[in-house]
Structure 1
Amino acid sequence: MRLHRNLVYAVIDGLHSIFNEKEYADKVVEKLLKRDKRWGARDRAFIAETTYEIVRWKRLYTVIAGVNPPYSREDLWRVFAVWAVLRGIRLPDWKQLEGTPTRRIKGKFDELSKERKYRESIPDWLDELGKKELGEALWDKEITALNKQADVILRVNTLKTTKKELKKALAEDGIYTDDLKGYPDALVLEERANVFQTQAFKDGWFEVQDASSQLVAPMLKPEPGMRVVDTCAGAGGKTLHLASLMDNKGQIIAMDIYGNKLKELKRRCRRNGVHNIETREIDSTKVIKKLHDKADRVLIDAPCSGLGVLRRNPDAKWKLQPEFLDSIRETQQQILRDYSKMVKEGGQMVYATCSILPSENRQQVDKFLNSESGKGFKLKKDRSIMASESGFDGFYLALLERTPQG
Structure 2
Amino acid sequence: MRLHRNLVFAVIDTLHLVFNEDKYADKEISKTLKRDKRWGSRDRAFIAETTYDIVRWKRLYSEIADVKAPYTRANLFRLFTVWATLKGIQIPDWPQFEDTPTRRIKGRFDELSQIRKYKESIPDWLDELGEKELGKLWDKEINALNKQASVVLRTNRLKTNPKELQKTLDEEQIATKLLSEYPDALELYERQDVFKTQAFKKGLFEVQDASSQKIAHALDVQEGMRVVDTCAGAGGKALHLAAIMENKGQVIALDIYANKLKELKRRAKRAGAHNIETRHIDTTKVIKKLYDSADRVLIDAPCTGLGVLRRNPDAKWKLSPEFLKEITEKQSQILYQYSRIVKSGGKLVYATCSILPSENEKQIEKFLSTEEGEKFKLIKEQKISAYQSGYDGFYYAVLLKK
| TM-score range for the pair, normalised by the shorter chain length | over 0.9
Deviation of the 1:95 alpha carbon: 1.1
What letter matches 1:18 in structure 2? Answer: V
Alignment match, 1:209: 208
Q: Give the length in aligned residue pairs.
A: 402
d(CA) in 2 for partners of 1:168, 1:143: 36
d(CA) in 2 for partners of 1:63, 1:70: 14
Quote the RMSD (CA, aligned, Å).
Answer: 0.5
1:48-69: CA deviations, max 9, x gaps?
A: 0000000000000011111111
d(CA) in 2 for partners of 1:315, 1:246: 36
Alignment match, 1:223: 222
Deviation of the 1:172 alpha carbon: 1.3
Tell me, what secondary structure is at the counterpart of 1:17? helix
What letter matches 1:92 in structure 2? Answer: P
Deviation of the 1:251 alpha carbon: 0.6
Alignment match, 1:132: 132
What letter matches 2:392 in structure 1? Answer: D
1:261-280 alignment runs, 5 A limit: 261-280=260-279
Alignment match, 2:18: 18
2:385 is equivalent to residue 389 of structure 1: no
2:179 is equivalent to residue 180 of structure 1: yes
2:4 is equivalent to residue 4 of structure 1: yes
Tell me, what secondary structure is at the counterpart of 1:252? strand
Alignment match, 2:120: 120
d(CA) in 1 for partners of 2:170, 2:4: 31
What letter matches 1:100 in structure 2? Answer: T
Deviation of the 1:190 alpha carbon: 0.3
What letter matches 1:62 in structure 2? Answer: S
Query: Unaligned stretches of 5+ in structure 1?
Result: none
d(CA) in 1 for partners of 2:168, 2:347: 37
Tell me, what secondary structure is at the counterpart of 2:295? strand
Tell me, what secondary structure is at the counterpart of 1:375? helix
d(CA) in 2 for partners of 1:140, 1:163: 35
Tell me, what secondary structure is at the counterpart of 2:373? coil
1:82-140: CA deviations, max 9, x gaps?
A: 000000001111111111000000001011111000000000000000000000x2000
d(CA) in 2 for partners of 1:14, 1:246: 42
Tell me, what secondary structure is at the counterpart of 1:128? helix
2:334 is equivalent to residue 353 of structure 1: no
1:250-295: CA deviations, max 9, x gaps?
A: 0110000000000000000010011100000111110011000000
2:98 is equivalent to residue 98 of structure 1: yes
Alignment match, 2:149: 150
Percent sequence identity is 70
Alignment match, 2:74: 74
d(CA) in 2 for partners of 1:116, 1:380: 37
2:336 is equivalent to residue 343 of structure 1: no
d(CA) in 2 for partners of 1:222, 1:256: 21
Deviation of the 1:218 alpha carbon: 0.4
d(CA) in 2 for partners of 1:145, 1:126: 15
d(CA) in 2 for partners of 1:139, 1:179: 30
Deviation of the 1:162 alpha carbon: 1.5
Greater CA drift, 150-159 or 171-180: 171-180
TM-score (norm 2): 1.00
1:176-325 alignment runs, 5 A limit: 176-325=175-324
Deviation of the 1:22 alpha carbon: 0.4
TM-score (norm 1): 0.99
Alignment match, 1:372: 371
2:28 is equivalent to residue 28 of structure 1: yes
Deviation of the 1:313 alpha carbon: 0.2
Tell me, what secondary structure is at the counterpart of 1:224? coil
Query: Unaligned stretches of 5+ in structure 2?
Result: none
d(CA) in 2 for partners of 1:206, 1:149: 22
Deviation of the 1:173 alpha carbon: 1.4
d(CA) in 1 for partners of 2:124, 2:161: 47
d(CA) in 1 for partners of 2:277, 2:347: 20
Alignment match, 2:398: 399
Deviation of the 1:163 alpha carbon: 1.1
d(CA) in 2 for partners of 1:195, 1:10: 23
Tell me, what secondary structure is at the counterpart of 2:137? helix
Tell me, what secondary structure is at the counterpart of 1:249? coil
1:2-44: CA deviations, max 9, x gaps?
A: 1111000000000000000100000000000000001010000
2:38 is equivalent to residue 49 of structure 1: no
1:321-340: CA deviations, max 9, x gaps?
A: 10000010010000000000
d(CA) in 1 for partners of 2:6, 2:229: 45
What letter matches 1:396 in structure 2? Answer: Y
